[in-house]
Amino acid sequence: MGDLESIDVAKIAIKMALSSREEEMEFKEKYSKMHVRTAAVDFGGDFNNSIKKIIERTLVAAKREGVIEEGKHVQEGALIGAAREALSQVTQKALGLNVGGKIGMARCGEHICVAMFFGVGFLNLNEVAIGLGHRSIPSF
């Protein structure tokens, strides 16, 4: 199968972020047959104190699952840029509150996407948000 378009890769990243653990495993297998590399990881805590940890978890999971290659600064920079973009889209809603959720990543060809699904909580009031970032990088 040829390379997917950026919108297709974004949809896969969002599916990974919304998936249960069982669905995540099924998606990884399904998308690897389509030459899409995927990863997902959970996060949680006070938003202000979690920003650095969220980016670190994104980077570690992407390397562990082969979404990006170890030591490739262009790939690391693109992934971190996409993660920061996703974070920026939910910052106003989450600032000063507790968050929990899942990060989904997908890469195919020159497209890499990071999607973050957030549950934002304050006392017994809960809100949800999704952030999405995309970058273009050289193909493997």
Dihedral sign computed on CA atoms, order 81, 66, 20, 27: positive
**Digit-coded pLDDT (tens) for 3-52:** 799 999 999 999 999 999 999 999 999 999 999 999 999 999 999 999 99
Taking each helix axis from N to C terminus, what angle separates 21-32 and 6-18, rounded to the nearest 10 degrees?
A: 150
Q: Are 92 and 117 in contact (CB under 8 A)?
A: no
For residue 67, the surrounding DSSP H or E stretch is none
**Digit-coded pLDDT (tens) for 42-86:** 999 999 999 999 999 999 999 999 999 999 999 999 999 999 999
Global pTM reads: 0.94
Contacts of 29 (CB under 8 A, 6+ apart): none
C-alpha to C-alpha distances, 47 to 39, 76, 95, 122, 128, nearest whole angstrom:
22, 23, 6, 12, 13
**Digit-coded pLDDT (tens) for 100-124:** 999 999 999 999 999 999 999 877 7
